Amino acid sequence: MKYTSGESVGLYDIVENNEGGTWIQATVVYIAETNEAAKECQWLLDEKPKWAEGSIAICWNYLQEPETICDRLLFTDAENNNELRFIRRQS
């Protein structure tokens, strides 16, 4: 998947997602097409749920309280996503 600006999506990228007209910052924690996931999301690679195919997952406030990450995940379609914009790569 590529962002609308042309960059390829990478694990731990900082992005903004449009939620009801408000852009909220998040971190990419799962990319289905490349089989990459943050440590807390490895279960997605192990279980390979059908509903997660072709998607990426982002997490609000990823660096805070990673043990409760599932409560803050949003799965988004990897195709034609115009509600997700690239901010920066995680250093």
More confident residue, 46 or 4: 46
Distance CA 3, CA 49 (A): 24
Residues forming beta bridges with residue 56, ordered by sequence position: 31, 76
Q: Which domain does 36 fall in, by range? A: 14-86
pTM of the model: 0.82
**For 45, phi and psi rounded to 5 degrees?**
-75, -35
Contacts of 28 (CB under 8 A, 6+ apart): 9, 10, 11, 12, 13, 15, 56, 57, 58
pLDDT in tens, 38-82: 988 899 999 999 999 988 899 887 666 655 666 778 888 756 556
Please state the domain count of the chain: 1
Q: Could you tell me if residue 9 is inside a domain? A: no
Q: What is the pLDDT of residue 4?
A: 63
Distance CA 37, CA 89 (A): 15
Q: Could you tell me if residue 6 is inside a domain? A: no
